[in-house]
Amino acid sequence: MLEYQAAKDLLKGKTILVTGAGAGIGRAAAIEFAKHGATVILLGKTVKKLEAVYDVIELAGYPTPAIVPLDLKGATEQNYRDMADTISEQFGHLDGLLHNASLLGALGPFEHIDIPSLEDVLKVNVTAQVMLTKALLPVLRQAPNASIIFTSSSVGRQGRAYWGPYAFSKFATEGMMQVLAHECDGTSVRVNSINPGATRTEMRAKAYPAENPFDLKTPEEIMPTYLYLMGQDSSEINGQQFNAQ
Ligand code: NAP
């Protein structure tokens, strides 16, 4: 979907929450959504990184974003409910939710899977997304047309040796997307997933340390699919798997 061209004001007046907005693909998405007119809620673990993204958006003159510091590993359902209440009070509704934050965890043979580390990956990549979505569905339903995007991976669509917990979590992500999309069929909320493909970020460098990062697309280059799925051009699209490259 690299060829999609978004209208300049595609997301004007919309409020969109992005998880993992401080770095990599989430950072690029937050800035791109703001550039197209959205007020972006920047959720992430490291406040300094979120503040740096906030500054980029402010300096560019895009709508003033909001910062929500939250560690998805430790957050409870109550934390998510409180956040949803704050969003409801401040904005009235939520037009978009990009589930982007993820943990890579350890790669290696199946019999070496460390169970506490498996549980961390599943908590951040799956359970936290269930809790966040559960809490935000009421505010998403208040929007005339809301979009939920889950972030998948090629190893969430076809299993691959040594990708362990990360791959399991991405299959769960695709399952979550399909179940929720089916439930949302015919409503004002649509749910889809994106596989970003090989992209120049810290996570990719950790997974492929020998690779030349300059051979890869940058997060900014893969944004057309994210814009397409957040904006009105995809309002009839529900339950689909997309590839950003
Ligand atoms: P990244 O550079 O590692 O960035 C991940 C982001 O998630 C960071 O902002 C990080 O925040 C945040 N995060 C991690 N753990 C968190 C937690 N416990 N609580 C809150 N935030 C947390 O990764 P990326 O490459 O941009 O990946 C973005 C998404 O694309 C992920 O879902 C990934 O699986 C998927 N993906 C990426 C590629 C690729 O080639 N890059 C390919 C396929 C799929 P901190 O920096 O504060 O830790």
Q: What is the CATH number of the domain that holds 161?
A: 3.40.50.720
For residue range 75-91, list pLDDT tens digits in order.
999 999 999 999 999 99
Give the distance (Å) from ligand 1 centre to CA of residue 20: 6
The whole-number pLDDT of residue 93 equals 96
The whole-number pLDDT of residue 140 equals 98
pLDDT of 124 strictly over 90: yes
Rounded (10°) CA dihedral 120, 126, 131, 134:
180
Give the distance (Å) from ligand 1 centre to CA of residue 101: 4
Residue 94 lies inside a defined structural domain of this protein: yes
State which H helix or E strand residue 39 sits in: strand 39-44
The whole-number pLDDT of residue 169 equals 98
Domain that holds residue 239: 15-243
Work out the average pLDDT over 38-58. 98
Helix or strand or coil: residue 43?
Answer: strand
pLDDT of 167 strictly over 90: yes
Residue 1 lies inside a defined structural domain of this protein: no
Q: Is 80 a catalytic residue?
A: no
Q: Is the CB of 101 inside a 6 Å radius of any atom of ligand 1?
A: yes
Name the residue at shortest CA distance from atom 39 of ligand 1: 199
Structural domain count of the chain: 1
Residue 7 lies inside a defined structural domain of this protein: no
Give the distance (Å) from ligand 1 centre to CA of residue 72: 12
The whole-number pLDDT of residue 1 equals 75
24 backbone φψ class: left, alpha, beta (φ>0; ψ -120 to 50): left
For residue range 221-239, list pLDDT tens digits in order.
999 999 999 999 999 999 9
Q: Which CA distances in Å does 86 have to 13, 90, 221, 235?
A: 18, 6, 33, 26
Report the distance separating Cα 229 and Cα 226, nearest Å.
5
Alpha helices in the chain (DSSP H): 24-35, 47-59, 77-91, 115-122, 128-141, 164-184, 202-207, 223-230
Q: Is the CB of 190 inside a 6 Å radius of any atom of ligand 1?
A: no
Residue 209 lies inside a defined structural domain of this protein: yes
Residue 139 lies inside a defined structural domain of this protein: yes
Catalytic residue among 54, 80, 166, 228: 166
pTM, full prediction = 0.98
Place of tokens 């300059």: 214
The whole-number pLDDT of residue 2 equals 79
Confirm if 217 and 245 have CB atoms less than 8 A apart.
yes
Report the distance separating Cα 77 and Cα 89, nearest Å.
18
Give the distance (Å) from ligand 1 centre to CA of residue 202: 8
pLDDT of 164 strictly over 90: yes
Instruction: Round the average pLDDT of the chain to a whole number and report it.
Output: 97
Residue 3 lies inside a defined structural domain of this protein: no
Q: Is the CB of 90 inside a 6 Å radius of any atom of ligand 1?
A: no
Residue 123 lies inside a defined structural domain of this protein: yes
Place of tokens 């990599």: 24
Q: How confident is the model at residue 168 (pLDDT cuts 50, 70, 90)?
A: very high
Q: Is the CB of 49 inside a 6 Å radius of any atom of ligand 1?
A: yes
